Amino acid sequence: MRDRVIRDEIHRDILVPGHISRLIDTKEFQRLRNIQQLATCHYVFPAATHNRFSHSLGAYHLASKLCEHLSDVQPGIISDEDAELVSIGALLHDIGHPPFSHLLETDKVFARFISHEDWGKMILESPDTDIGEALREILGEERTGRLFALYSGKSEYNGVEIPPFLKEIISSQLDVDRMDYMIRDQANTGAQIGGFDSSRVIRALRVNDEGRLFAKKWGLPAIEAYLVTRYHMYNQVYFHKVNQLTQEYLIRALSRARSLAENGELELSKSLSNMLCNEELSVRDYVKLTDADINSVLMEWSDSDDEELSKYADKLVSRRDYHKSIRISDLTQEMSSVIIDKIKPIIEKSGYSEDEIIVSSIRKKGYKPYTQGIILEDGRDVVEHSPLIQSLVLSSELALIFIPEDVRDECEHVAREVIKPSQSRLPTC
């Protein structure tokens, strides 16, 4: 196949050699056009409808650029063969994602629940997939095995060393996957959070004597910007309360459809039946699943005779009658349990069931220094060089409590008396 240039909204021209195009032009990779990157985030940010396809191309592009850079500044540090392997690894890192990406990666939806990493390995290894066949044609059995070893983080394959930096390019706290999705997600959501310069981050990277990536000290400001961008993207986009709520609506709708189908009360398409009810779901059938299978039935489900199914489907297709969150910041899981016990009587007195209380967990992992961190040329973690990064280390597990709008004020008053007795007045804005 001929080499091609793919025009990308983020990186502009992405150069793809002809044999790599062979991987892209398979139905399993093209399927990623129909898997949205940010699941239900478009209910908050309407333009956030970009897909795993463009993100995978972006990760490939950044991996190629990083390998080229390392070869220039440290000749011989990476072979042409391994540079290609790393780039292909970045290209295919999302091949196993289910519809709506991470959101539906749960046994509440899939009768046969397997992580997207495991599905990806099965897709690439399968003799029944176009992309598995193409991969073996391009790499051969030996290099394909090395690719899988690289994905698994192994230190060698068939007696040949796999330096840790090869894995770090694809998966680490400063990998090409994160760099691309943060730039791409920020651009498509319209979030105004400063951003970072991926080219400068890449230019600062080197490989040390232990085979790990490190950054030159002059690259610290760019890494700070990268980590601050990540922090703000999680707070303002990924953990946005409406995004959390619509995710729960979709999972509840699918879980209810699964229950109805298993009881013979709802007829599903073949694809949805495979996803929701087939405990022996095959690779061949898994790769046929896309967002379209779900989007195409939500309108129909919104008119279902089943009250629970129609309720959640209608909220998604009409974007109305949403639950409202209790407006208490930094609500911990422990606090939420206390509040729920106190507001249950209010919910039930108002004619609602306990199921109308929706709790969403937000796990802020923070920056992880040392064992999984980002190191500078002196061997120390960036957290030891930057007070700004130190402030991003703490992790937390918070909660959002959603309830019907017409009982929010009463429930919120009770919640404030429990958590913050001196602040039991409702907010004025």
pLDDT tens profile 355-410: 999 999 888 777 877 667 999 999 999 999 999 999 998 777 889 999 999 999 99
d(CA 368, CA 383): 9
The pLDDT of residue 424 is above 80: no
Domain 323-429 has CATH 3.30.70.1370: yes
Q: For domain 4-232, give the fold.
A: Hypothetical protein af1432 (1.10.3210)
The pLDDT of residue 321 is above 80: yes
Pair of tokens at residue 156: 């060698």
Range(s) of the chain covered by CATH 3.30.70.1370: 323-429
Task: Give 421's pLDDT tier (boundaries 50, 70, 90).
Answer: low
- Minimum mean pLDDT range among 56-60, 192-196, 249-253, 344-348: 192-196
Position 368 scores a pLDDT of 79
* pLDDT single digits (tens) 220-270: 999 999 999 999 999 999 999 999 999 999 999 999 999 999 999 999 999
Average pLDDT on 16-26 reads: 97
User: Dihedral through CA 84, CA 205, CA 173, CA 241, nearest 10?
Assistant: -100
The pLDDT of residue 78 is above 70: yes
Pair of tokens at residue 395: 């992790």
Q: How far apart are the first and last CA of the chain?
A: 60
The pLDDT of residue 124 is above 80: yes
Position 35 scores a pLDDT of 98
Position 394 scores a pLDDT of 79
Half-sphere exposure of 198 (CA within 13 A, CB side): 21
Task: Give 429's pLDDT tier (boundaries 50, 70, 90).
Answer: very low
Average pLDDT on 105-113 reads: 96
The pLDDT of residue 422 is above 70: no
Q: Are strands 160-161 and 4-8 parallel, antiparallel or unpaired?
A: unpaired
Range(s) of the chain covered by CATH 1.10.3210.10: 4-232
Average pLDDT on 330-337 reads: 88
Q: What is the share, in percent, of the chain residues with pLDDT greater than 70?
A: 97
Amino acid present at 160 = V
Position 367 scores a pLDDT of 84
The pLDDT of residue 159 is above 90: yes
Pair of tokens at residue 15: 């150069």
The pLDDT of residue 168 is above 50: yes
Position 1 scores a pLDDT of 79
- Which residue in 107, 141, 111 sits closest to 124, CA to CA? 141
